[in-house]
Amino acid sequence: MFYREAGQFKTTYQDDQAVFPVLQDKAAVFLLILVAYAVPFVADEYWLQAIFIQFLVFALMAIGLNILMGYAGQVSLGTGAFAAVGAYACYKLTTNIEGMNIIVAILLSGGCAAAVGVVFGLPSLRIKGFYLAVATLAAQFFILWLFNKVGWFYNDNPSGTITAPPRELFGVLITGPSASPEARYIVCLTFLIVFAWFAKNLVRGRIGRNWMAIRDMDIAAEIIGIRPLQTKLLAFAISSFYCGVAGALMIFCWLGSAETEAFDLVNVSFRVLFMIIIGGLGSIGGSIMGAAFIILVPIFLTNFPPMVGLDISTALQKHLEEIIFGVMIVFFLIVEPEGFARLWQILREKLRKWPFPY
C-alpha cells in the first residue's frame, strides 16, 4: 500500500508517456542519482577503482549493446572491437592534437566507433541472427589484430600498450595516473546518466519503435514504410557510439592503460552480452542492473568463501565462476528471458499490494 499508484491519474498524453509515470519511481530515481554522486565521498579507493568505475563503464557499454540487440534485434559479438576503436581513437586524438578538450575527444572517439560500426553493420541488410554474429565476429578479430599489428595505432610504443595522457576538466585532473578516483568516478557517472537519458529518449520515440518493429518482424516493418537499412545502420551507429565512448572511458578513466586483450571477445564482448541477457533485453534499466550483477558476482565469489572459512584457489574460483555464470544464463533464459527488468516489473506489481496478500 506504500507503492500505490491510485490517485495518480494521467490527464494528458504527455504525463502518460513520462519515463517514470509513477511518482514513487521518480522519487526513487532522483534519490538514487543523489546517492550515486555521494558515493565517492564515502567509498574507499579500492571499491571505486575496482568496482564502481568499472561498473559505470560497462553499464554504458551494456546500454549500447542493448540498443543494438535488445531493441533493434541485431546480434553482435563485436562489442569489444567497437569499444577498442573508441579507446584507440581517443588515444590518438589526445596524443596527436594539442589542447583538444578531453570531452570533445571522447565524443569524437565515439563518432569513430560509430563509423566503424556502420561499416560492419552493412551486412545486416542481407543476413540475420547468428549469421550476423559472424560478421561482428569478423569485426572483433580483425580490428583487434589491426590495433596489434599496425604501430601507428599505439604510437609505435614498444610494449604495444596505450596509456592515457593526463587531461584536465575545469581544472581538475581526470585522466592519467595522478587523477583521483573520485574525479574519474564523477566523470563516468555523469556520462552514464546523460547517455542513459538520451538512450531512454530514443527508445520511447519514433526511432525506438522503428527499431523494435525491425526486431519483431522486419518484413512487416518494411511494408509499413520503415526503411530497414537506415534503421539497422542507425542502431549500429548509435550502439557503437556508446561502446566507443565507454571504451575511451575504460582506458582514460578506469584502467589508465591497456593492450588489446582488454577488449577481447571474452573480456568484453561476451561479458556485455551476459549483462544484457541477465539484465533484460530491450531495457535500459535492465542493462544497468545486469552490469552491476555481472561485475559484483566475481567480487562476491572472491570474498565470500574466506568469510565462511573456505579457502578456494583462484583457479578453482574462476572455474566456479564460469559454471555459475553458465547456470545463471541458462536459468534466466528458461525462467525469465526478459531478465531482471521483468523481474523488477513483477516485483513492483507485488509491491502495489504489499503488505496485503491481494
Kindly list the residues in this chain that would bind other proteins in the complex (CB under 8 A).
Answer: 13-14, 17, 73, 75, 122-123, 126-127, 129-131, 133-135, 137-138, 141-142, 145, 149-150, 198, 201-202, 204-207, 209-210, 212-213, 215-217, 219-228, 234, 265, 270, 273, 277, 282, 315-316, 319-330, 333-334, 337
CA 142 to chain centre: 22
**CA atoms 144, 161, 295, 307: torsion sign:** positive
- As measured in angstroms, the least distance from the Cβ of 17 to other proteins is 7
Residue ranges of alpha helices (H) inside the chain are 13-16, 23-42, 45-47, 53-65, 79-96, 102-121, 129-149, 181-203, 206-223, 228-249, 271-279, 284-307, 314-335, 339-353
Rounded CA-CA distance 247/239 in Å is 12
Residue 110: Cβ-neighbour burial (10 angstroms; 0-12, 13-18, 19+): buried
- As measured in angstroms, the least distance from the Cβ of 332 to other proteins is 8
Are 109 and 175 spatial neighbours (Cβ–Cβ below 8 Å)? no
Are 196 and 32 spatial neighbours (Cβ–Cβ below 8 Å)? no
Give, as one character, the DSSP assignment of residue 126.
T
The CA–CA distances, whole Å, from 223 to 203, 209, 210, 228, 233 equal 21, 15, 12, 10, 18
Closer of 14 and 178 to other proteins (Cβ) = 14
Closer of 33 and 316 to other proteins (Cβ) = 316
Closer of 77 and 183 to other proteins (Cβ) = 77
- As measured in angstroms, the least distance from the Cβ of 308 to other proteins is 19
Which amino acid type is present at position 199? A
- As measured in angstroms, the least distance from the Cβ of 348 to other proteins is 15
Closer of 47 and 270 to other proteins (Cβ) = 270
Q: Kindly state the cell numbers that stand for 129.
A: 541472427
Closer of 43 and 329 to other proteins (Cβ) = 329
Task: Kindly give the pairing relationship between strand 162-163 and strand 257-258.
Answer: antiparallel
Closer of 175 and 283 to other proteins (Cβ) = 283
Q: Kindly state the cell numbers that stand for 238.
A: 548509435
- As measured in angstroms, the least distance from the Cβ of 326 to other proteins is 3
Q: Kindly state the cell numbers that stand for 202.
A: 530514443
Closer of 132 and 258 to other proteins (Cβ) = 132
Residue located via cell numbers 586483450:
261
Closer of 196 and 255 to other proteins (Cβ) = 196
- As measured in angstroms, the least distance from the Cβ of 171 to other proteins is 29
Per DSSP, the three-state class of 173 is strand
- As measured in angstroms, the least distance from the Cβ of 130 to other proteins is 5
Closer of 1 and 10 to other proteins (Cβ) = 10
- As measured in angstroms, the least distance from the Cβ of 139 to other proteins is 8
Are 110 and 242 spatial neighbours (Cβ–Cβ below 8 Å)? yes
- As measured in angstroms, the least distance from the Cβ of 131 to other proteins is 6
Residue 297: count other Cβ atoms within 10 Å of its Cβ. 16
Are 78 and 140 spatial neighbours (Cβ–Cβ below 8 Å)? yes
